[in-house]
Structure 1
Amino acid sequence: MATSIPIAVRSSIGVSMGLGPPDYKNLDAFTPVISKTCRTMLFSPDGRYFAYVNGQRLHIVKTDNWKDVAVNEGVKAYYLAFSPLGTYLMSWEPFTVSNANPQASPNLHIYKCETGELVKSLIHKKQSNWEPQWSADERVFSRLIGSDITFCEDFNLDKVVYRINSCKIASYTLSPSATGSVYYVLCHILGLPGQPSFGRLFKYPNFENQQAVANKSFFQADKVEYYWNPNGTSALLLTNTEVDKTGGSYYGKQGLHFISTSGEVAIVTLSKEGPIYSVAWSPKGHEFCVVYGFMPARATLYNTKCESVFELGGGPQNSIYYNPFGNILLIGGFGNLRGQIQLWDANSRKLIGTCEAPDSTLLHWSPDGVYFLTATTSPRLRIGNGYKIWHYSGTLIFERPWSQQDELYDVFWKPVPKDTFKEPKISSEKVDGIQPAQPQASKQVYRPPSARNRPTVAFNLHDDTDDLRPGSAKGPSKQALKQRKKRENRKARKQDEKDEDEVEPIPVSDNNVKVSLTGDTEKDKKIKNIKKKLDAIGKLKQQQSQGKTLEVNQVAKIKMEKELLDELSKLQL
């Protein structure tokens, strides 16, 4: 990397600006802000501006010379947000009513970044959904007011040109990119008691229900999170319920749905039960990754047809981070997990590095896609605050611990304009690193005094699972393999006894597939698996004959019936 990328740091002593590799020193052009009341800071999407709130003053800084563009007094903002092109800065502060001001004052303010001029003040009482949404070219400005969405154009905020008020909208999102003047609006519409909710996609400005581009219904959806692909042509909807009434999960119940601007909808089928921890689209837009299931969680790559294309395996993981170019995929386990990280070559599907970053509360990739930053921040963790910089190979190259008297709140890289950097080439060459200053937790298993002079028994809690990662040097233990072989043989003997009088195979009907086993354990396993798939196809065909409209991935399953039947006949020869 020719030049160091700045890193913004907000802590209990103020705001400072450092440099990343290879310099690792303070940015001299930026004067550190010494204050204990800096609530928030933010870079514009292209990195041209840097804003922070110091007490009751909002500072807007131009990053080409790190000088203040404007300082606005009386701003008590808790949150900041920039428009997509960095033309405007929005701030939100709590809505308060007092005896001196019973009508209250506007708490949502919009400033022009170039001059710091306050161009509009609005009222938005709740913290949720406070941030107005813009189209990618900033031509369309929208807000959620109550359960209605209002739209203004060309920043004429005094005139509402369109409105969606025909249904009860809980949340919405605008497509992140525009093709010419085409924009899409995706809404979460709450259903009546006992009725399903909907994800409804509109093409701006055709907002009548019958004009919807696509509809996706789901019953369990107290809240919906949206994940658009970079092109703005497809989106994933992660539905959440606060409580799982079946008692299956402490985290509530979740579902993942797909919807596209071409009208296609589908359910993303997951191969393991449990929570959905993380969802992320590749910046290349051709695939997405999901981490899901009870621990050890699985990580799976899907294509845009919602078909599983690659299993990354299982383990203590709950987070996904693609680098800005989409050629490196980071899978990590943070929060109540140990902080294990695996880095994959997203193109060749190969494991390229591993490391461990315990107690990490945030992670950000550098704009050049070569380095990533992890940090331990307050108030999540008040001990051991600091941040580290890693190479994509998993090598720790820099560490900055915080003093115990101070707290670290936030840290992130300065964004850069698109096309500033080229996609990095992944190399297998080793990178020189450093050892972490923080003592590492012992990985030795605790043994009670009564067992300390006895032979160690090899035991793995997850010996029965197939969740080992591809490319991992560690395989199942000899004892685990031996036990697995015994179980398979025992099951095979029982199945053989059960199927002694099995009739010869008969023609397969829609969902009444009869098979005969061969006695070969591997073949019989495949035969049973195919039978399950054919039975499922039979049910789908029955639903189709009853007039039910099937989804795209369900129709695709039916088309595989002939191929499965051919494979079944070959196995039973």
Structure 2
Amino acid sequence: MATTVPCIAVRGSTGTSLGQGPPTYEPVSGFPRDASRSCKLMAFSPEGRYYVWTNGVSLKIAATENWQIVAEIKRPKISAIDFSPKGTYLATWEPFIISQANPQGCPNLCIWKSENGELVKDFIHKKQMDWELQWSSDERICGMLVNSTVNFYEDADFSKVVNRINMAKVAKFSVATGNPPYHILCNMPGSSGQPSFGRLFQYPKFEASQSLANKSFFQSDRVDIYWNKRGTSALLMTSTEVDKTGASYYGKQTLHYLDTKGQTAMVMLGKEGPIHSVEWSPKHVEFCVIYGFMPAKTTLFNLKCEPVFEFGTKHRNSIYYNPQGNILILAGFGNLNGGVELWDVGSRKLIAKIEAPDTTLLRWSPDGEHFVTATTAPRLRMGNGFKIWHYTGTLLYERPWNKQEELWEVLWQTYPRNTFMEKPISYRAVEGITSSQPQASKQAYRPPSARGQIINFKLHDDIDEPGPRYSSESNPSKAALKLKKKREAKKAKKELEAAAGVEAVATTTLTAPITGITTTCQQTRPSNSSFNGPSCNNVVDSDSCLTDDPEKNKKIKKVKSKLDQITKLKEQLEAGKHLEINQLDKIKKETELLKELEQLVL
């Protein structure tokens, strides 16, 4: 049996074309390459039976089994396309236009049969936002948002509306994936001063009292809906365009959970800031979130919205699961440096790291072993091209564009579910190639006045590290000299305070919490004494040394520092703040640390 090799569709200023994926990368024979410079759209049907594209004159549909064109629709103004889940129907949208000759306008949302381009039904839908039809996975029901009402059709019969959701204003809705019974999640915005609602219904029971789950929330200019693969659980990400507190340029986001059993929850995130990315695992039992001000946190949650694994705090903003769900890509694109990490989801281990700067697009191959990164226009007009990688971090193929050409989009061919099965993960890199593209320089820029001199600094200093970002020993700047004087003055002040403290006589009662043991420590030092240890104070609250043994004093300070951290964490917990797993574990060690401190001071 021949091995199935996914193809790659490419769209740009030179038209649209198809090429084989690894290992051949040859052009697909039989596909009629379109050289039009107006190929604004392309898509594969979900099951992979059809490939469709526009060229500024018409829309063409090709059957992927032999790449022959099966339909051509003469609609040059088509601006958006969308297949039904099985690829049986293709919906298209065009800008709504009225004129003096036609003040009512013409239908601009059309539904076609994919197999032959036959028009099934057309509607007027003025706005492009949320224009897509919502189908059940078996295509038995189809919903469409009309103004603030959801109309439902059955068995692709668009001549009559079978059911409606019109009990309240609906801003957005989504039909769950998976098998019957069908579930529909709606966002119903509240009026002034009233909360908005996310309501989950089972088709066709759409009365408020019949909802399976309800989640209320304030401050939601926009709501994004994420279903897991089975359609049993959903995430609602609510967003405001402006954060009224001024804390975030990106507005404010919150994440809510609902499921078909009626359970709801707010996903508690352990860092302040925006939510950058949310993705369900294809295995449907976990979801991953990147959140917080940069460097952002990345956390894996279970269906109880409990954190089960922390991927650390780094500069990331993108999540990509492979179709099988066993490999996860975490990346930082856009205004970040293009770092890409590949993780083994099952063992929670890092497989590889790569750098893919200027990446505007990343997509997994259906085989779950390869992925493509691309630099596309209009986001970036320089350095356009794409690369194909193996999940072990090896570069296998690259296709750069010349300066006169633009790359707009790269797509993998789709296939029916379970065409590619999950394979064991290998940590050994496969053989690959070296990129021919120039690598970004890792040397710091030096102004002409500093060139030819020995300059002592690290390019990537920790931003939280005190002191200047760099220093020049041979020719220090005025700012560096000023900062040096301030440090010296501060140091001298501390020495004077320490000298004055040597004259003190301290009497301290040391109370060890929990055990109830009390110890009194009195040290009297004359002015000519050589003893340098400061006076004792409370065990937890003071930084004082309690013995004449320097090594023991170091241990005491270390233990007291840990107890101070625990005290702060307990105060945060009592105030209702969400703590991380490692922080809760630290609190549990309080008794053990107190016993250790008691032994040290006796």
Same fold, judged at TM 0.5 (above)? yes
Instruction: Structure 2 unaligned segments of length 5 or more: list them.
Output: 467-493, 495-505, 517-538, 542-555, 596-602
> What corresponds to 2:332 in structure 1?
333
Q: Indicate the residue corresponding to 2:207 in structure 1.
A: 208
Residues 115-173 of structure 1 show CA distances to partners (whole Å, capped at 9, x for unaligned) of: 22111111110000110100111011100011111111111212111111111111111
Q: What amino acid is aligned across from residue 243 of structure 2 in structure 1?
A: D
3-state SS in 1 of match to 2:61: strand
Rg larger for: 2
Aligned position for 2:6:
5
Distance in 1, matches of 2:220 and 2:248, equals 15
Deviations 1:14-59 (A, max 9, x none): 1111111000111011010111222211100011011111223121
Q: Is structure 2 residue 6 aligned with structure 1 residue 24? A: no
Instruction: Give the 5 Å matches for 1:139-538.
Output: 139-178=140-179, 181-448=180-447, 449-450=449-450, 453-454=453-454, 456-458=456-458, 460-463=461-464, 504=513, 520-521=559-560, 523-524=562-563, 527-528=566-567, 531-532=570-571, 535-536=574-575
Task: Tell me the residue number matched to 1:470.
Answer: none
Shift of 1:411: 0.8
The alpha-carbon deviation at position 565 of structure 1 amounts to 9.3
Query: For 1:221-247, what per-residue CA distance to the aligned partner results, in whole angstroms no more than 9, with x for missing partners?
Result: 100111111111111111111111111
Is contact 2:195-2:217 (8 Å) kept?
Answer: yes
**Is the CA contact (8 Å cut-off) linking 1:505 and 1:516 kept in structure 2?**
no
Please list, as runs of the form range in 1=range in 2, the aligned pairs for 1:45-194 lying within 5 A after superposition: 45-178=46-179, 181-194=180-193
Distance 1:432 1:34 in 2: 34
Amino acid at match of 1:101: N
Mapped partners of 2:561, 2:305: distance in 1: 28
Kindly provide the amino acid, as one letter, of the partner of residue 76 in structure 1.
Answer: K
Q: 8 Å contact 1:384–1:404 — kept in the other structure?
A: yes
Q: 1:454 Cα shift?
A: 4.3
Give the SS at the match of 1:38.
Answer: coil
Match of 1:43 in 2: 44
From the superposition, tell whether residues 246 and 451 of structure 1 become closer, same or farther in structure 2 (CA, over 3 Å).
farther
Tell me the amino acid that sits aligned with residue 92 of structure 1.
W
Q: Secondary structure at 1:531's aligned position in 2? A: helix
> For residues 500 and 230 of structure 1, what CA distance do their matches in structure 2 show?
63
Change in 2 beyond 3 A, CA 1:248/1:169: same
Query: Match for 1:215: what amino acid?
Result: N
Paired residue type of 2:424: K
Maintained 8 Å contact 1:6/1:20:
yes
Q: Is the 8 A contact 1:53 1:76 kept in 2?
A: no
Letter in 2 for 1:98: S
Distance 1:457 1:67 in 2: 62
- SS of the equivalent of 1:17 reads strand
Deviation sequence 1:378-412 (CA, Å, 0-9, x none):
11111111111011011111000112112111111
Tell me the alpha carbon deviations over residues 169-207 of structure 1, each in whole angstroms, 9 at most, x when there is no partner.
1111111112xx311111111111122211111111111
Cα 1:444–1:566 change in 2 (3 A) is: closer
Sort the Cα spacing of 1:394 and 1:145 in 2 relative to 1 into closer, same or farther, 3 A.
same
Distance 1:273 1:29 in 2: 53
**Secondary structure of 1:39 counterpart:** coil
- Cα–Cα, structure 1 residues 522 and 304, in superposed 2: closer, same or farther, change >3 Å? farther
Taking the aligned partners of 1:254 and 1:218, their CA distance within structure 2 comes to: 11
Amino acid at match of 2:259: S
Is the CA contact (8 Å cut-off) linking 1:298 and 1:313 kept in structure 2? Answer: yes
Task: Quote the Cα distance in structure 2 between the aligned partners of 1:384 and 1:145.
Answer: 43
Would the alpha carbon gap of residues 447 and 69 (structure 1) be closer, same or farther in structure 2, given more than 3 Å must change?
same
Give how far 1:452 is off: 6.3
- Stretch moving more, 67-76 or 82-91: 67-76
CA deviation string 1:486-518 (max 9, x = no partner): xxxx9xxxxxx9x978794599xxxxxxx9779
Give the match's secondary structure for 2:137. coil
Given residue 377 of structure 2, which amino acid in structure 1 is its aligned partner? Answer: S
Tell me how far 1:461 sits from its aligned partner: 3.0
- SS of the aligned residue for 1:528 comes to helix
Partner letter of residue 443 of structure 2?
A: Q
CA contact (8 A) 2:393 2:429 kept: no
Cα gap change, 1:194 to 1:434, in 2 (>3 Å): same
1:525 to partner: Cα distance: 5.2
SS in 1 for 2:567: helix
Aligned residue identity for 1:36: R
1:437 offset after TM fit, Å?
Answer: 2.1
- Cross-structure match for 1:478: none
1:530 CA displacement: 5.6
Relative to 1, partners in 2 of residues 1:22 and 1:209: Cα closer, same or farther, differing over 3 Å? same
Following the alignment from structure 1 to structure 2, what is the Cα–Cα distance between the partners of residues 282 and 311? Answer: 15
Alignment-derived partner of residue 520 in structure 2: none
Alpha-carbon distance, 1:568 to partner: 5.2
| CA deviation string 1:81-103 (max 9, x = no partner) | 10001110111110100122221
Structure 2 CA distance for partners of 1:565 and 1:72, relative to 1, 3 Å: closer
Give, in whole Å, the separation in 2 of the partners of 1:452 and 1:327.
51
Using the alignment, how far apart are the partners of 2:258 and 2:590 within structure 1? 34
Alpha-carbon offset, residue 572 of structure 1: 4.2
Shift in alpha-carbon separation, 1:141–1:332, aligned structure 2, 3 A = same
Distance in structure 2 (CA, Å) of the matches to 1:239 and 1:79: 25
How many residue pairs were aligned?
Answer: 515
Separation in 1, partners of 2:513, 2:74? 86
SS in 1 for 2:397: strand
Rounded to whole Å, the distance in 1 between the matches of 2:452 and 2:267 is 49
Structure 1 vs Structure 2: percent identity of aligned residues? 52
Q: 1:28 to 1:67 in 2, by over 3 A?
A: same
Residue 521 of structure 1 deviates from its aligned partner by 4.0
Q: How far is 1:527 from its partner? A: 3.2
Structure 1 window deviating more from structure 2 (455-464 vs 201-210): it is 455-464
Report the residue type matching 1:528 in the other structure: T
Conserved in 2, the CA contact under 8 Å of 1:186 and 1:199? Answer: yes
Q: 1:463 to 1:143 in 2, by over 3 A?
A: same
Distance in 2 separating the partners of 1:294 and 1:452: 39
Q: CA deviation at 1:342?
A: 0.6
TM-score calculated relative to the size of structure 1: 0.84
- Distance in 2 separating the partners of 1:8 and 1:68: 15
Q: Which letter does structure 2 place at the counterpart of 1:257?
A: H
Q: Give, in whole Å, the separation in 1 of the partners of 2:9 and 2:423.
A: 23
Residues 564 and 67 of structure 1: is their aligned pair in 2 closer, same or farther, counting only changes over 3 Å?
Answer: same
Cα deviation digits, residues 235-284 of structure 1 (max 9, x gap): 11111111111111111111111111111111111111111111111111
